Each structure stands twice: as C-alpha cells, then as structure tokens.
Amino acid sequence: MDEQSLQQLAAQLRQPTGEEGIKTGEWMNRGNVHINLDTLAIVNATAADNILEIGMGNGFFINKILQQHNSIQYTGADFSDVMIAEAERINDTWIKNGQAKFVLTNGITLPFADESFNKIFTINTIYFWDDSIKILDEIKRVLQHKGKLIITLRPKRQMINYPFTKYGFNMFSKQDATQLLAQNGFTIAQAIEKQEPDFELNGKMVTMESVIIEAVKV
C-alpha cells in the first residue's frame, strides 16, 4: 500500500464512509472475530441487562448478546452513519423485537439519561478518542453505580507494527489503558491479555493480540 492508501484505510477504520466503508466493516468482522467473542465472554450478557456498545461497526456480533435472553436490551452507538445503517439492516429482527436500537453520536455527548446502562463496552475505539477524559466522564454519567465498563484494544506493541496507525491512532499499552481508567473514576476488576491466530494484512501474516480491561464505576 502506498501512503495515500494507508491514510484512506486509517480514515475508514476511524469512521467508515460510503461503499468503501461497508467493505471496511465486513473486513473488520473477519479480522476481529476473536477479539469480539473474547470481549462478549467478559460482558457476560444475562437477563435484564441494559447494554451499550460504543462503536459497534456493522453490528455483526450483536446476535451473540441478544440470543442469551429475551429481556436483554442492547443499544449500539457509532459516529458513522454508514455503520448505523448496516447495523440496522443486519439486526432488523432484533429491532422489530424491541431489543436493539442504534444511535448516531460522537461519543463525547451520549443521548441517554443518567445511569441508563448496567454494562457498557467498546472494542477497538479507544485509539480514536480525541478527548479521553470527556468521553470517560460521559460513560460514567450513563453507567449505573457499580456498573461494568469493558474496554478492549490491540496493545501498542502490536499496533506500532501496522503502517496505517501513524495516521490518527492513539496507541496504548495495557498499563496505559488501566491507568487512564483508574485515574478517571473506575476500579479495575481485571485486565486480560489474549493471543489470537495470526491474520493476513496487506499480504503478510501478522500477530494478533488483545487486551480486555474490565472496570467498575465507583
């Protein structure tokens, strides 16, 4: 990939747009199977949960949450109108059942009442937070007392090897991310490092790792 292509890929990963954005969403599903399933195991959706996902992409994995119990409520928030439309298309049945809805938002302002959710999670979005403190403040506002926040990311030691991450990605080690949460009103319950099968990227097989941080609002 030349530098222009790398910049375009980075922009699409941050905020998918147009037909290329739809393809990016599908590509992310293939590359993020394990990180999604590992995160959902920590979310551990159970009866009566009201769950918010920030940055759900095209919503391909949402059925893994909602099939657990018909009383679970799921909200997906994203700032890509293309991903909102795709998530609504893919999850049409869950929407009609009244269990799923999707909202367009930048994350700094979440259009929900205080303490609306008992669980909030986000996968591969922390790199794009322009103001981490404001975003965490807003998450705290809409998360119930003792509610659970799960943030999942690719660690910095992996991300620095990707040529596109120099274009607008903020990278974190496990320690960086846990410190950020601890300094902004969360108690760390656990921080898990996972190894995944290698994945083909730009014609090369690359190592895939993830860090899953479970925190509690205090």
Q: How far apart are CA 162 and CA 193, in angstroms?
A: 19
Query: How many domains does the structure of the chain reveal?
Result: 1
E-strand ranges in 68-110 read: 73-78, 100-104
- The predicted pLDDT at position 187 comes to 98
Q: How far apart are CA 167 and CA 3, in angstroms?
A: 10
User: What is the pTM (predicted TM-score) of this model?
Assistant: 0.96
What are the average pLDDT values for consecutive 10-residue runs of the chain, which has 218 residues?
92 96 94 96 98 97 97 98 98 98 94 98 97 97 98 96 94 98 97 92 84 97
User: pLDDT digits over 28-72, tens only?
Assistant: 999 899 999 999 999 999 999 999 999 999 999 999 999 999 999
- The predicted pLDDT at position 107 comes to 87
* Domain that residue 172 falls in: 3-217
DSSP tally for the chain: helices H, then strands E: 9, 7
The CATH number linked to 65 is 3.40.50.150
SS (H, E, C) 124-156: CCHHHCCCHHHHHHHHHHHEEEEEEEEEEECCH
- The predicted pLDDT at position 204 comes to 80
Q: How far apart are CA 51 and CA 57, in angstroms?
A: 16
What string of DSSP letters covers 53-76? EES-TT-TTTHHHHTT-TT-EEEE
Check the CA dihedral 62-63-65-70 and report its sign: positive
Phi first, then psi, for residue 89 (nearest 5°) are -65, -50
- The predicted pLDDT at position 79 comes to 95
